[in-house]
Structure 1
Amino acid sequence: MHRPPLTRLALAGALAFGTAGGAWAVEYGTLDSAASTVGFRFSQMGVTLDGQFKRFSGQLRFDPAKPEAASTTVEVPLSGIDTGTAEGNDEAKAKTWFDTAAHPVARFVSSGVKPLGANRYEVAGELTIKGNRRAVSFPVTYTPGPSAASFDGSLTLNRTDFGIGEGEWSSAEIVAHKVEVVFHLVAKPLAP
């Protein structure tokens, strides 16, 4: 049995960059893709499965002293999906799933950051997958540091809102409609 791809949503994870505040007098502006991860979790026939995106990129601006001014754009090339099997990866690229031939990139653009206290923030923005745009928001935990900061969070999406898993795959009986995007993003300070 193969594992279908359900996660462009992962890019939603990258959204986290648009978040956060803290005590460090540093402005962050460089995403460390090698130290960052964007993954996803879904359920197929009652079994929870994990996957990830091997590549993603982002532009961000985040000043802990002014989190409300933060901005983030994250792009995930969907052809880099890793569902755990070659068959699942190939199927994820098909028209019924991500249709990577017509829609090769998933994109998140932040629109605002709201402090929640204790280094937690709510990030809002627009997520585009397979030509479908949706407003999303999710909590992010910010961990400051002198040489890098991390942003951790997750976002639960309904795959059918983005046209992911059409036809025979549209039923939640085989693949659950809910997909959780999980991310750990590392950002480095801007050069002085």
Structure 2
Amino acid sequence: MQRYSRAAIFLHWAIAALLAFQIAVGWALEDLGARGFALYQLHKSVGMTVLALTLARIAVRYWKPRPAKLENGWQGALASGVHGGLYAFMLGAPLTGWALVSTAKVKVPTLLFGVIPLPHLPLPASAHGLAENGHGLIAWLGIALLALHVAGALRHHLLMRDGLIWRMVPGRSTALLVALPALILVGFVAGRAILPAPQTTPAPAPVVEEADEDAAPANIAEAASAAAPADNVAANATQAAVEEPVGPPPAWTVQPGGHIGFSVGNDGETISGGFAKWTAQIVMDPDHPDSADIKVMIDMASASVGDAYKDGMLPGDEFFGVAAHPTATFTAKGAEATGANRYRARGTLTLRGVTKPQTIRFTLSGKDAIRKVSGSATIARAPFGVGNGDSSTGLGPQVALTFAFTAKRQD
């Protein structure tokens, strides 16, 4: 009996195993939310691999013609129809997935297996719904066609006993007859095995009343500040009230090497990152904090969490909306002492075109012309519209901000 070429046999079973993997993963992606981000990238990478192997399979089909059909009539027509449908599925599923990603509101960059960049297709955003619905429909039709294909192969091998299945098994090897179809099961099991474990329901997060923000320490440093003896705070405040400033408050220049970082909870994990570009204008007499005039400007396009996929999402409309709002600005007039070398500044934060009250806390160390500054803030992301899409459902409501830098007094 004439067999398929070895190239065709290899591509047949490789594609079958990868499709089983894709089906196992694809079923779960919608329910994983943000936890499925990395798996979603793998799903895209494997999908493009299936597309490439299918194109190779078509080329081999014409280079090495397949064996003649064993059946005619309606059975032969049905078999041909199923084969044609499977090729349409193997081409259509990756292409509609590619179109879906290319037309999504949130432009998620794709690096195939974390290495090869995949450009977006030049499609209008209006095509997103069609691509999404088409991808889901093609997936279900593909599953039905795969079931028919397997049923037909079993019919020929077990009922008709015409040896048709040996055309896809090298050397009529009984071991390969078992091992090759087993690859399909292996692909499906592998897809299920790499899914994240079901998430347990977390304990309710404590509700922080906005009016009590200053009374509740946001981190360990603030807790230590709150635990400072009350007489020290009172003495500091009294000293500030009695002593009058001598001359205008000094201006300070931020030295290279400073850092502004952020972190946010994400389905039980923590995403941490920072901003590479920012500037600060600071005027303040540490002995008279009410003289403070602070302005910090952050280049939002410089945000990074150390992951190429997620970094590509941050400038988009779901998060920072950099195209329309490239800069975030914090300003504060005046500060107050909360302990020895500890201060609090109430001001405003403008982010994505929205301005809201914001408090920062900071500590000064050193003396004379060089001071080290470190501090923190807790920012509610929802009022600024940060994280407003489907991929943000697992993000915590509060973003922790930290900063540290050295400032030199201007002469």
TM-score, scaled relative to structure 1: 0.81
Q: Give the Å deviation of 1:185.
A: 2.5
Are residue 27 (structure 1) and residue 27 (structure 2) matched? Answer: no
- Residue aligning to 2:268: 46
Correspondence for 2:395 among 175, 181, 185:
175
Q: Distance in 2 between matches of 1:122 and 1:36?
A: 20
Are residue 61 (structure 1) and residue 283 (structure 2) matched? Answer: yes
Q: Give the Å deviation of 1:125.
A: 0.6
Q: Give the Å deviation of 1:177.
A: 1.3
- Residue aligning to 1:113: 335
Return 5+ residue gaps in structure 1 as ranges.
3-21
Q: Distance in 2 between matches of 1:181 and 1:108?
A: 12
Q: CA RMSD in A?
A: 1.9
Contact 1:40–1:181 (CA under 8 A) maintained in structure 2: yes
Contact 2:297–2:327 (CA under 8 A) maintained in structure 1: yes
Contact 1:41–1:180 (CA under 8 A) maintained in structure 2: yes
Are residue 90 (structure 1) and residue 312 (structure 2) matched? Answer: yes
Are residue 138 (structure 1) and residue 360 (structure 2) matched? Answer: yes
Secondary structure, in 3 states, of the residue corresponding to 1:94? Answer: coil
Q: Distance in 2 between matches of 1:120 and 1:169?
A: 38
Contact 1:73–1:109 (CA under 8 A) maintained in structure 2: yes
Q: Deviations over 1:97-153 (max 9, x none)?
A: 111000000001112201112111111111010011111113211113344212211
Contact 1:111–1:126 (CA under 8 A) maintained in structure 2: no
Q: Distance in 2 between matches of 1:124 and 1:74?
A: 13
Q: Distance in 1 between matches of 2:254 and 2:367?
A: 14
Task: Give the AA of the match of 2:326.
Answer: P
Q: Distance in 2 between matches of 1:115 and 1:165?
A: 34
Return 5+ residue gaps in structure 2 as ranges.
1-36, 39-239, 241-245
Q: Deviations over 1:76-113 (max 9, x none)?
A: 01000011112111100001111100000000111220
Task: Give the AA of the match of 1:55.
Answer: K
Q: Distance in 1 between matches of 2:351 and 2:251?
A: 27
Q: Distance in 2 between matches of 1:55 and 1:187?
A: 16
Q: Give the Å deviation of 1:169.
A: 4.2
Task: Give the AA of the match of 1:89.
Answer: D
Contact 1:28–1:187 (CA under 8 A) maintained in structure 2: no
Q: Distance in 1 between matches of 2:391 and 2:328?
A: 20
Are residue 155 (structure 1) and residue 377 (structure 2) matched? Answer: yes
Task: Give the AA of the match of 1:30.
Answer: T
- Residue aligning to 2:49: none
Secondary structure, in 3 states, of the residue corresponding to 1:69? Answer: strand
| Greater percentage in strand | 1
Secondary structure, in 3 states, of the residue corresponding to 2:335? Answer: strand
Structure number with greater Rg is 2
Q: Distance in 1 between matches of 2:316 and 2:360?
A: 28
Secondary structure, in 3 states, of the residue corresponding to 1:88? Answer: helix
- Residue aligning to 1:184: 404
Q: Distance in 1 between matches of 2:281 and 2:266?
A: 34
Contact 2:291–2:333 (CA under 8 A) maintained in structure 1: no
Secondary structure, in 3 states, of the residue corresponding to 1:67? Answer: strand
- If asked which structure has higher relative contact order (CA below 8 Å, sep 6+), I would say 1
Q: Give the Å deviation of 1:66.
A: 2.1
Q: Distance in 2 between matches of 1:103 and 1:152?
A: 27
Secondary structure, in 3 states, of the residue corresponding to 2:320? Answer: coil
- Percent of matched pairs sharing the same residue: 28
Aligned pairs for 1:11-22 (under 5 A) are none
Q: Give the Å deviation of 1:170.
A: 5.2
Q: Distance in 1 between matches of 2:312 and 2:345?
A: 32
Correspondence for 2:300 among 72, 78, 97:
78
| Greater percentage in helix | 2
